[in-house]
Amino acid sequence: MSATASTLLQPVPAANPAASAQEEIQRIFDLHRTTALRLRTSTVAQRIARLKRLRTVLLEHRQAVVEAGMNDFRRPATEVEMTELMPILMDISDACRNLKKWLKPRKVRPTGMMLGTTAWTRYEPRGRCLIIAPWNYPVTLTLGPLVPAIACGNTVMVKTSEVAPHFSTVLAQIIRKAFPEEEVAVFEGDASVATALLALPFDHCFFTGAPAIGKVVMQAASKHLTSVTLELGGKSPTIIDQTADLDTAVQTIAWGKFINSGQTCIAPDHIYVHQSVKEQVCELFRQYLTKWYGEGMAAKDAELARVINVRHTRRVAGLLDDARQRGARVVLGGAVDIEAHFVSPTLITDIPADAAIMQEEIFGPLLPIIPFDSIGEVIDRINAAPKPLALYVWTRNDATANQVIENTSAGATCINHVGVHFLHHHLPFGGVNHSGIGSYHGEWGIRAFSHERSILKTRILLARMFFPPYTPRLRRMVDLALKYM
C-alpha cells in the first residue's frame, strides 16, 4: 500500500536536521552494528518471543490506536480495528506459527555437472534495516514490514509519517515499549529526518509511499548499493462486464473504494463498465452510497473517514473541479468542505481523457465511471498506462478474466473482489515497475528481509577430471557432454 505523498513530501536536497537529531541517528546506527551481528545467531524461539511481545504491547495500545484514527482521519473505530489492528495480529500469528518452517535450510538436488556434491540454501538476516512508513494506514504499513524484519533477525530503524501525527506518536510508544533501542529504534519528524536516515549505508531499505518518492529512495539507496523493497501505488483499474453480478460488484467496489475516504493504494481508482450496464451500475452506486453515507453534505455526519488534511483535500477538490470544467458529469456527490477535510463519495462520468483525474492517482473519494464496448479497448487503455498495483475484474466469464490477466501486467489481480488479496498472506503482496519493486507478506516477507545464501559441499571431487592439461581425451569428454546437455 502507498500514500500519494509519504514522509518524503518532495525530493529533498542534502538534509540539515538539527545536529542533535543527526547525532542520535548516527548513534543508533552505530549501536545496531553490534546488535545485528549478535542477532544473526538468534534462535527461532527468541524471534518469536519478540513478536509476541509486540502483539502484547499493540493490544495494550488498542484504544490509543482507535483514538489516533479518530484524531487524524475521523475514522470509525470499527474501521480502524479492522484495517490497522487485525492485519498485524494476523501477521504475527502467521509468523509465529510458520517461522521455523520458513527459515529451515532447503536442500537442492545436484545437477549433472554437480554430481559428488551436496547443496542447500539458508535464510540469513540482511543486517541493519530501514523502514520508511506512510500516513494512510500507519499501523498496518509500519508494523507490517517490521514483523518479518524482526522474524528474520534484523535490527530496524523506523521512520513514521508526520502527516498522521497522532498515529506517529502512538507507534513510537508501541515500538519503544516493545523493543530496546539497540534492536528497533523509531524516529519521528519531517522529511529532513527521513533524508538523514537515507544517507546511511543500511543493508536493506523498505519504503511504502508514492512512486515519485520511491525514485528518491531508490536513488539514495543506490549510493550504498542498499537493496530495496518499494511498495508504491498508481491507478488501479476495475472492470465490470455485462455478465457480472452487478449488485455484488457495486457493493464490494463501493466498500473498497470509500473505506478510509479512498486513501488506499489498492482502492479501485476508476471503473470501466460495459456500455450495456452502465446506467444500472450508476443507479446501484447511488442506492448504496446514499443508504450507507447519505447524499452530498449529509455524508459529513456518516461513519466516513475524512481526507488526511487541508492540503490533500484541496488536491482532491482540484481533480474534481478540473474534471467538471472539462465537461465531466457528477452523478452523485461532489460536496466539498476544505476546512473540515471533507469530500463526499462522488461518482463522475463523461470524463475527457486529458482530465487530471485520468492521469493522477486519485487517492480520495472520487470514482470515475468509464463506459466500454469491447474488452480489447479496455486492455489497450490499461497497457497504455503505468503498470498498476492492483487490477480488478468483475465477470462471470472465465475467458474474459483470463484474457485480461494474460494481456496485462499488474502487481495483483482479484476476480470478483477488491483489495482482499492484501489480507491473503499465502500470496505475495507487491507491485511491478511503477507500482513497486519486491513483495512481502507471509513467507515473502522473510525473503524480503533475508539473504538467501547458497552453500555447496563437495564429497567427491569429480571436477578434477576437467583440470589441465587439456588432453585430446578431455576434449572428447567435453564434446560428449555438450552433445547431451
Three-state SS annotation for 197-227: HHCCCCCEEEEECCHHHHHHHHHHHHCCCCE
Give the contacts of 194 (CB within 8 A, at least 6 positions apart): 7, 8, 12, 132, 159
Q: Note whether 219 and 268 are same-domain residues.
A: no
User: Which residues span the domain enclosing 114?
Assistant: 19-233+438-452
Q: Is residue 466 part of a domain?
A: no
Q: Note whether 276 and 363 are same-domain residues.
A: yes
Q: Does the annotation mark 96 as catalytic?
A: no
Cα–Cα dist 151/140, whole Å: 16
Residue type, 334: G
Q: Note whether 101 and 224 are same-domain residues.
A: yes
Grade residue 19 by pLDDT with cuts at 50, 70 and 90.
low
Q: Is residue 380 part of a domain?
A: yes
Q: Is residue 50 part of a domain?
A: yes
User: Counting beta carbons within 10 angstroms of the beta carbon of residue 254, is it exposed (0 to 12), middle (13 to 18) or buried (19 or more)?
Assistant: buried
Across residues 209-223, what is the average pLDDT? 96
Q: Is residue 142 part of a domain?
A: yes
Across residues 457-472, what is the average pLDDT? 87
Q: Which of 84, 183, 231, 443 is catalytic?
A: 231
Q: What average pLDDT does the chain have?
A: 94
* Per-residue pLDDT at 8 exceeds 50: no
pLDDT digit string, tens, across residues 150-181: 999 999 999 999 999 999 999 999 999 999 99
Q: Does the annotation mark 129 as catalytic?
A: no
Flag the least confident range among 289-293, 451-455, 457-461.
457-461
Tell me what pLDDT residue 113 has: 79
- Strand-pairing partners, residue 270, are 237
Q: Which of 265, 361, 414, 443 is catalytic?
A: 265
Nearest by Cα to 367 from 242, 283, 232, 262: 262
- Nearest-5° Cα angle at 21, 210 to 88: 45
pLDDT digit string, tens, across residues 178-204: 999 999 999 999 999 999 999 999 999
The number of domains in the chain is 2
Longest dimension (CA), the chain: 90
